[in-house]
Structure 1
């Protein structure tokens, strides 16, 4: 009895240990949300406890993934004057100073400067034979031991068709993942899907015709429990205990997209449990079943003589050494030169170029930021409209056009306006979190119609959904699908023809259809009051829905409103009209449409949040509560809400209450100039899109064509070229042309004595900006691994993501067209985000002391940090 208890305790300990290892291993991937709620994420968010350069070196060794820009990208940036060569030399000399050199400095400088030209190494065939002789005298350079240097066994083995077994394993895993996560795209669902991935796989894999009989038998011999199966498979693969976590990490990195989807499902689907663990158990179980006949195997050597020959040849080309000069060196000196060449490799060259690129941008931005004095005494009376926009880089050029066309002031704040809500719009079956994905909603806000209104909108919407549902079901059933082409063919052919040749006209017609037939009632209301809700023609008392309180208490209304006003530094000098401006985008036939809405909020356009905050600001009880906090909003000031359509640079009003006379004058003024604002904004933005000759086209008509053309691969640039996050007064940036590359957040350190507001900005909006920046960066430097390839060859799979072909990883990043203007022409500049804070140095020191996570990002090179002090002096805080 005692022995059984001890064995049970040991088994339990092993199970807990393997689960702990899976949790730690999962840091190498990030959750991947469905494409319909695309959320920008840094692919390295879980690795920031290590330096950017360490992770770059590890990924290059472990996965052959390069985190530094390619040679062609760097040279193109250099020719475009984005990189100052003087900064390259500066960083090169600094690297030499920080490195213990075992060779003469002049040798290192000559070799380094030539290697930094990024030219390909060319070995003369006549010299090749001599190189082989020279290499025999030397031993391979010592390579530092990497923590994650435990490659998968299946990467070493090829089958009789000369195909790597790891590719076979990936093929099978993709198949099972597609079956399990399918979001109603297929007509038949996976049997036993409701009982979990592992259970369903275990019941079906024994009948998989794609596996051999022996492979199926080996799988049958494994335990029926995921924990036991994983541990047994690792043991039979002879993975040492100290290498298990690393082995799990490399399996996750083999298909980071599908693994990321499993992680997301784990976090967001309450019906699943330990899905990522099941995924790993299945992968490693199948790996053992497939590679077992080949065990044991011998691993190839890390470096052989051919590598040494290349390093010697590099000294011939970049060190300007002759064979005779090399022979004249002692063996120790030759070894030291080989070691230096091994260290000063292509990856290091591009690292130094990246540092020079970023330093050049720092200097260019520093020269642009010139604070302009303002006359505070008259400013409030002169400003007719104050408009709060999202920090999104696409807002900056639009804001500049608005400010140039009248007495208008623009403000930058995160587009969810600090409201931790889940929204349910009128006519929608589902609610949607409308806040950054790293946060959880605290309230649910629903849109409803008043009792006296007929609910015709919902009836029409339901009718359209019924037609769509019927069409889909007919496609998926055998007999109706035979009839469907005869019924739908003429209409779909007409749609294809008109969408291809007259997309703007068709788009206008469809928009009118939705505007007129599916138009929401004008005066829909929101469930802002926590205690009493009015909707569905009833008077009900509902406090919670899906675990969230519906609406706000009176104190929460005041608190959220005050917080938002403080974040946008708008607590006095209110204009007659204050407009909360959310943003969204529109495009046709675009799987990545959600990525053009709000990159932080899972594809949720932020107009809804803008409407919530504007309505809160107009409530008398909120204004009374704000008055007690020292915030006085004049009775003549009215808050409204609008949405900036980024693909067409238009402003759509979504909430305009009854206006005072002064507010009406302000509204009429902004409406009168808005056509000119849109025209100029579109003209400037279209000039950046390839193949757009604006001399013969009306910018406003052209952007509508782009958004409605179903063959258009680039309706807008999204957040490409983002490079800086600037926290400060608008006067710091107002006179600068930031070229749509900067996230702008209003901030006045004088109104933030404790630094609380700055902490909130750095912990929220700045983090979002960093994630967006690194996602664009990753999609540019490693498009085959972190991007999603060309839009023209993508296919939507399982209703939740895109693939290239029918058996690829679930693609995690942005398509090629979002970062490149042509196949071999760069558009996005892959540099790490520069955060600039306008505040005294004491504020920055306090921020870094109190926020260890942010300090880690700066110290380890995941973001760069600079500040502008009270004397307008620039300070660089990056190491």
Structure 2
């Protein structure tokens, strides 16, 4: 159980006992518990997939859907248009919908004939809206008034709203809008990543104190409003407590009130939450954010206090319930009045229970079950190869990313090759530092922390020359930025840079592929990066927080772990290629999102090179041989990078090869152009385009990657739907359409279940985050997406906004999930995890991993398994 969920449960127990005069409860604890409603948001330069509902996994998906609907009017089940489109494409088998309906009816207790209930529910499942003419009918309202005594008071508590929003709803005065505008301004100033010419004064003192010093001079506030904050507390927690007290928020409702404010701007709040988790110096940043926000709310609404109280209960409206029976139950108002009181009440009860949330849930479950059934039939229908086979010419270890699947499939058909899948950081918890750079960056999933640092190095005389050339390039960029921000220099800048930038613009627009290649070649020719070595051996550097390189024991551990995780511990080919993955696009704020959805925009090439180099060390092989992992002398490990935008494999580390490895390498080089062409042809056929300019898929892919006006250089991980943990033989003959994460696994080599537990805890968790981010950006793009890429504003080096005063948008742009304004591309299905192992392995996993069990039980992902005889079991 996570710290947040534990704290939430603790506060839930205390919350019922609290009164306005109850003993003091630590506000920092309240803030931590309230933060469950938002998710950390990384800067867009280190974009990482995020599960927007990670704090809700202790409750069911449906409970969360209802809470968000009541709290923010956000629907997280697919809407009718998405469902109807999927139905038209044949993605929903209505037999599964009928089965889901029958399961729902079986657990209902309604005094109605089964046939009557079924006919009503089937009609309601068409998801057509109730006619507005019917809902506005005076006769219907009169009838509903007569029947009002049949339904009890609504027992559900209304969600607590910020008082600024209540005032806005009562008077029409845009107070909540003004509050958001103020908060966006202050957040941009504080969080700016050195993009602004002038930085926020006193920023080093923290968000609240910087705001507290400057708010007295804010021209956007009136003199009276500024005076109200003249003697405001110096500390954030004290200020937050005072603001809540001034607004008369009871302690029993404080957490709900804080949650409501965090949900108002979940992007900016999420960025504050992320920052608070990065260092102890900013650990109270979210408390400071709420202190600023609720203090601002108080000064804005003080003249209007006290407000009219929110109603905690209200009579459930019968108009839509009766209208539902008239529209879907084929009844008339006259027929209603002829029914007995018990019959009327039973019909109203069924209509209330079978609401829109339930109807959408049943459709989603049928959609998901249809995909599961199709996947089962595909896998079960393919013949499996015998375990007895010839030694492969080459073996490739790819990242589990869904974009690797089509390339792996084409590669396996091209020659005697085997492919494996594992997480693309290859189990190396490292921070990397490239040659000539003074800054290191993490190269592992964002849910983990780096434990080691690996640097590139070269001879001193070559390094010094390279650094000078690199500094020259960086200096030009810095000078250009400074001139733009300087009043006088900015007047001269267009005259100086205009001709060159005009040529670049014309080239990028008219011949993007040629222009991009030329610019890249010029940069490469100027920099002339020398050959480098990696700091694999442990170095003692007191000035670094992380150890540089590895000890001998650590080298063996990471090689052993990687080979076991990918299932490659025997039958080694002469050539083993460790394939990281990255992407390439131009003028794309979301470039990091296309590199690796797990690793904060870090490509896997560096990690692939480190692992390949470790695997080639003779001493490591000697130790592994004593453990039963025998790597033949003629087997050589090399490293490559799969560029997903171009579907090509670039070799980045090729040591001296044995004769057998050299032969394999030459054959791969011969076959790769055709593999790349076929993979691009399949991928490009899915991308919407006004028409290809070239018949060669590789040329067209290069144009997509280099065109700075291209809003969709690739689909990324759109349409991801499943995660299969098993041997490649299980899926080798299947066209999975680039929708499946493929992780190699051999249960026979995992007697204690450790490997399976590690896969579930790491790669599956990250894949679930990716899946739910795409899901959320599709079903609720206005709240969890980021709008149209063409109208986005990149702000402060942090992320994107729509316009200059919106929330910091946390999700994916609609170009990542929509084929057009009218047609969706991503199928919003919750991730299906398929485990190839005996049933007892899965049972043991569920017993030992309560967090995973909870996700399955509460509907955050789905689980199936395949036993050694090929029999499937659906666990959820």
Same fold by TM-score greater than 0.5: yes
Change (3 A) 1:695 1:161: same
Q: 1:156 touches 1:299 (CA, 8 Å); kept in 2?
A: no
Q: Which of 633, 636, 639 matches 1:638?
A: 636
Match of 1:419 in 2: 428
> How much has 1:479 moved relative to structure 2?
1.3
Aligned length: 854
Cα separation, 2, equivalents of 1:147 and 1:710? 51
The residue correspondences of 1:552-567 to structure 2 (distance < 5 A) are 552-567=550-565
Deviation readout 1:411-464 (Å, 9 max, x if unpaired): 101000000111111122321111111111110111111346354332211110
The residue correspondences of 1:579-658 to structure 2 (distance < 5 A) are 579-658=577-656
Change (3 A) 1:375 1:97: closer
Q: Which of 481, 485, 489 matches 1:480?
A: 489
* 1:676 to 2:668 alignment: no
> How much has 1:27 moved relative to structure 2?
1.2
> How much has 1:204 moved relative to structure 2?
0.7
Q: Which of 537, 547, 565 matches 1:529?
A: 537
Q: Which of 318, 333, 338 matches 2:328?
A: 318
Match of 2:568 in 1: 570
> How much has 1:337 moved relative to structure 2?
2.4
Q: Which of 87, 109, 118 matches 2:118?
A: 109
The residue correspondences of 1:133-148 to structure 2 (distance < 5 A) are 133-139=142-148, 141=151
Change (3 A) 1:656 1:125: closer
Q: Which of 374, 377, 387 matches 1:376?
A: 387
Cα separation, 2, equivalents of 1:125 and 1:402? 60
Q: 1:82 touches 1:361 (CA, 8 Å); kept in 2?
A: yes
The farther-off stretch of 777-786 and 486-495 is: 486-495
* 1:740 to 2:748 alignment: no
Cα separation, 2, equivalents of 1:14 and 1:433? 44
Cα separation, 1, equivalents of 2:575 and 2:184? 54
Q: 2:612 touches 2:637 (CA, 8 Å); kept in 1?
A: yes
> How much has 1:220 moved relative to structure 2?
2.4
Q: 1:388 touches 1:410 (CA, 8 Å); kept in 2?
A: yes
SS, match of residue 313 in structure 1: helix
Q: 2:154 touches 2:313 (CA, 8 Å); kept in 1?
A: no
Q: 2:384 touches 2:730 (CA, 8 Å); kept in 1?
A: no
Change (3 A) 1:58 1:546: farther
Q: 1:369 touches 1:732 (CA, 8 Å); kept in 2?
A: yes
Match of 1:497 in 2: 506
Cα separation, 2, equivalents of 1:553 and 1:143? 69
The residue correspondences of 1:172-571 to structure 2 (distance < 5 A) are 172-269=182-279, 271-299=281-309, 307-370=317-380, 372-380=383-391, 383-451=392-460, 453=462, 455-521=464-530, 523-531=531-539, 542-571=540-569
The residue correspondences of 1:749-768 to structure 2 (distance < 5 A) are 749-768=747-766
Match of 2:11 in 1: none
Q: Which of 704, 707, 719 matches 1:721?
A: 719
SS, match of residue 156 in structure 1: helix
Cα separation, 2, equivalents of 1:144 and 1:210? 42
Deviation readout 1:456-494 (Å, 9 max, x if unpaired): 332211110010001101111111111111111222222
Match of 1:858 in 2: 856
* 1:42 to 2:40 alignment: no
Cα separation, 2, equivalents of 1:485 and 1:694? 35
> How much has 1:368 moved relative to structure 2?
1.2
The farther-off stretch of 305-314 and 664-673 is: 305-314
> How much has 1:375 moved relative to structure 2?
3.8
Change (3 A) 1:336 1:241: farther
Change (3 A) 1:773 1:270: same
Q: 2:863 touches 2:874 (CA, 8 Å); kept in 1?
A: yes
Cα separation, 1, equivalents of 2:522 and 2:155? 64
> How much has 1:641 moved relative to structure 2?
0.1
Q: 1:577 touches 1:637 (CA, 8 Å); kept in 2?
A: yes
SS, match of residue 131 in structure 1: helix
Q: 1:426 touches 1:446 (CA, 8 Å); kept in 2?
A: yes
The farther-off stretch of 178-187 and 452-461 is: 452-461
Alpha-carbon RMSD across the aligned residues, in angstroms, is 2.0
> How much has 1:306 moved relative to structure 2?
9.7
The residue correspondences of 1:802-821 to structure 2 (distance < 5 A) are 802-821=800-819
Change (3 A) 1:627 1:142: farther
SS, match of residue 743 in structure 1: strand
Q: 2:153 touches 2:313 (CA, 8 Å); kept in 1?
A: no
Cα separation, 2, equivalents of 1:629 and 1:142? 70
Change (3 A) 1:46 1:335: same
